[in-house]
């Protein structure tokens, strides 16, 4: 991929992550915050892929985006309810 395009894609993904992370802090409902954190994990896995680290990207996508999101959701179910 051509370098300036790569840089643009990385910076775009990074900005998207930043905005999503701030949204996760400010959003009212816990369940929305959990989904947004999952999205941040998935974007960071894309970022790792853009930085030529496919090994880390696979791990981040499977553990960070999938497993920990579900664990947060189930943990929220166990403590029972919002906030």
Which residue stretch of 5-13, 32-40, 56-64 sits at the interface with another protein (rule: CB under 8 A)? 56-64
Nearest to 15 by CA among 36, 43, 35: 43
Residue 28 touches another protein, criterion: CB under 8 A: no
- Show the CA angle centred on residue 59, arms to residues 55 and 65, nearest 5°: 140
Sequence-ordered list of residues with C-beta below 8 angstroms from that of 9, at least 6 positions apart, any chain: 1, 50
CB of 57 to another protein, least distance (A): 8
Residue 24 touches another protein, criterion: CB under 8 A: no
Residue 6 touches another protein, criterion: CB under 8 A: no
**Euclidean distance between CA atoms 66 and 83, whole angstroms:** 22
Q: Quick check: 44 and 60 in contact, CB under 8 A? A: yes
Residue 36 or residue 65: which is nearer to another protein going by CB?
65
Q: Which of 79, 81, 82, 83 lies at the binding interface for another protein (CB under 8 A)?
A: 79
- Interface contacts to another protein, rule CB under 8 A: 54-55, 57-59, 62-63, 66-67, 70-71, 74-75, 77-80
């Amino acid at each position: 991929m051509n370098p300036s395009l790569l840089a643009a894609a990385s910076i775009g993904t990074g900005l998207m992550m930043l905005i999503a992370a701030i949204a996760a802090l400010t959003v009212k409902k816990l369940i929305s915050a959990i989904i947004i954190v999952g999205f941040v994990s998935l974007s960071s896995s894309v970022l790792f892929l853009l930085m030529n680290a496919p090994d880390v990207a696979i791990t981040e996508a499977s553990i960070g985006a999938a497993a920990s999101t579900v664990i947060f959701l189930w943990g929220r179910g166990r403590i029972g309810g919002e906030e």
